[in-house]
Chain A
């Protein structure tokens, strides 16, 4: 990719955290990457390699020390309406119903209420949460809460969906199901997705491209293009071809030694 056709360009992004004593901690030593329009990119790497910092910079939550972000060729800083974020925990507001929770971005961004409500109902149906809109978060299971969080991240129709280990807190079975579900949502909505995960199989199953990070300070070790046709079935994870990719990525990470 030359870069100009990229939806999002990340150019030499660095982040240093000041510490009380000694040299500042290098959380991100200068990272460049591109996201193409409609692409599903997963990033895997050991804990502390800076991938969450990267995602928070993309989301406008953390300010980078240096470097540049370009969205459709334009330099951007801070939070953007073109991004939707899903965190590891659902982070729903417990005092709001599911519908009110997923409409919160619409309220903050001042979107037209009736249109937002219609699209909320449609998205809730897409993730299988129809008839749950009037419930409160504590009445839903962890998986259902995370689905509501995904709807919330999509309600303002962002071009890019940023996901930080969105299924890390779920049990293995629910996680598998959510992976299939996410693929379905992605295929229906055709967003560009940037997803961070610890799970190599999850990355290979979901991604068009897997970016593998080194331990701190995190650099991109290698990228793997994942060619499996879509929609991918969970059966795929049992095939030798799938295993070839997961093994190659694991070997690459193992060669780095310490995996957090």
Chain B
């Protein structure tokens, strides 16, 4: 009798990635067929090949050339990262102070609720009035969108510290600062990082919205320009670049999270702001 048992296909390690690849290839084929024989016009849905060409064209330009993707990509990415950083510092900082001071929390909370209830994208035109058509208004929008998920998740993290951990410190006569520094802050890190992971996605969203509303450079501006000349393939190409950028940003945050919050198995999902 042979002792080998065949592993079912479903449990092979390559099963899931293989299905993923097949799914993408099939999707492209359906897309190609729809455009070639389905009677869908080019300006609605361009050929996959046309998108590919637009992508190569856009990416092969010099970063100093206004028609190059890089020219706009650098601007949008810079805005995203700046907005994220400011949002992170403000969000974690405010959450820490709110968690430690009931008075401060009571004063700030009404504003948090109001701003949170507001569809924040609606503020974008106001930022253009306040900060003009330059990077300042874009960063302001990116910061505004990044701030809330970071603030709310961090606040949750700071205020839900395991009581036993605090009691260990209390029994040692620890000062408030020591309790914060040695217990509350590290305890909050898993939730802070859940917030940061959402924050970076929202920062990118904020940058793009600001660019739609009023700016001179950026991927959002590029999309509007391409749209005005019905260069649908070009719009698709920009979307591909944005998706790739988003993927890289999210992956970087996840790797950072796994490094810093190494004791948490399986990353937590954040509360959406």
A associates with B: yes
Q: Which residues of A contact B (CB under 8 A)?
A: 56, 59-61, 78-81, 83, 85, 87, 89, 91, 93-95, 104-105, 107-109, 136-138, 156
The majority secondary structure among interface residues of chain A is loop
Stretch at the interface among B41-49, B130-138, B162-170, B202-210: B162-170
B137 to chain A, nearest CB (A): 39
Kindly list 16 other residue pairs between chains A and B, CB separation below 8 angstroms, not including A85-B171, A93-B165. Answer: A56-B167, A61-B170, A79-B171, A79-B173, A80-B173, A85-B167, A87-B167, A87-B168, A89-B164, A91-B162, A91-B164, A95-B189, A95-B262, A104-B182, A109-B173, A137-B263
The answer, among A83, A108, A138, for a CB contact under 8 Å with B169, is A108
Judge if B186 is at the interface, Cβ distance under 8 Å. Answer: yes
Complex A-B: 6 CB contacts under 8 Å: A78-B173, A79-B171, A79-B173, A93-B183, A108-B173, A108-B182
Judge if B267 is at the interface, Cβ distance under 8 Å. Answer: no
| Set of chain B residues within 8 Å of A95, measured between Cβ atoms | 186, 189, 262-263
Kindly supply a per-residue 1/0 record for chain B positions 234-273, scoring 1 wherever the CB is within 8 Å of any chain A CB and 0 otherwise.
Answer: 0000000000000000000000000000110000000000
In the complex, which residue of chain B has the Cβ closest to the Cβ of A85?
B171
A148 to chain B, nearest CB (A): 12
The answer, among A61, A81, A104, A137, for a CB contact under 8 Å with B167, is A61
Q: Are B172 and A108 in contact (CB under 8 A)?
A: yes
Q: Which residues of B contact A (CB under 8 A)?
A: 162, 164-165, 167-174, 178, 182-183, 186, 189, 262-263
| Set of chain B residues within 8 Å of A85, measured between Cβ atoms | 167-168, 171
| Set of chain B residues within 8 Å of A87, measured between Cβ atoms | 164, 167-168
In the complex, which residue of chain A has the Cβ closest to the Cβ of B189?
A95
The answer, among B162, B172, B183, B262, for a CB contact under 8 Å with A79, is B172
Q: Are B167 and A108 in contact (CB under 8 A)?
A: no
Q: How far is the CA of A85 from the CA of B168 in the complex (A)?
A: 8
The majority secondary structure among interface residues of chain B is helix
Q: How far is the CA of A256 from the CA of B83 in the complex (A)?
A: 66
In the complex, which residue of chain A has the Cβ closest to the Cβ of B261?
A95
B259 to chain A, nearest CB (A): 12
Q: Are A60 and B171 in contact (CB under 8 A)?
A: yes
Q: Which 10 A-B pairs have the closest CB atoms?
A: A94-B263, A79-B173, A91-B164, A59-B171, A85-B171, A108-B172, A108-B174, A95-B186, A61-B167, A61-B170
Q: How far is the CA of A85 from the CA of B174 in the complex (A)?
A: 14
B39 to chain A, nearest CB (A): 60
Q: How far is the CA of A156 from the CA of B171 in the complex (A)?
A: 12
In the complex, which residue of chain B has the Cβ closest to the Cβ of A101?
B168
Q: How far is the CA of A250 from the CA of B174 in the complex (A)?
A: 40
| Set of chain B residues within 8 Å of A59, measured between Cβ atoms | 167, 171
A7 to chain B, nearest CB (A): 18
B187 to chain A, nearest CB (A): 8
Q: Are A109 and B172 in contact (CB under 8 A)?
A: yes
A139 to chain B, nearest CB (A): 10
| Set of chain A residues within 8 Å of B173, measured between Cβ atoms | 60, 78-81, 108-109
Q: How far is the CA of A81 from the CA of B171 in the complex (A)?
A: 8
The answer, among B167, B178, B186, B262, for a CB contact under 8 Å with A93, is B186
B2 to chain A, nearest CB (A): 40
Q: How far is the CA of A104 from the CA of B168 in the complex (A)?
A: 10
In the complex, which residue of chain B has the Cβ closest to the Cβ of A109?
B172
Q: Are A61 and B171 in contact (CB under 8 A)?
A: yes
A133 to chain B, nearest CB (A): 17
Q: How far is the CA of A108 from the CA of B167 in the complex (A)?
A: 13
| Set of chain B residues within 8 Å of A105, measured between Cβ atoms | 172
Q: How far is the CA of A104 from the CA of B172 in the complex (A)?
A: 10
Which of A93, A105, A156 has the largest count of B CB atoms less than 10 A from its CB? A93
Q: How far is the CA of A16 from the CA of B263 in the complex (A)?
A: 39
In the complex, which residue of chain B has the Cβ closest to the Cβ of A110?
B178
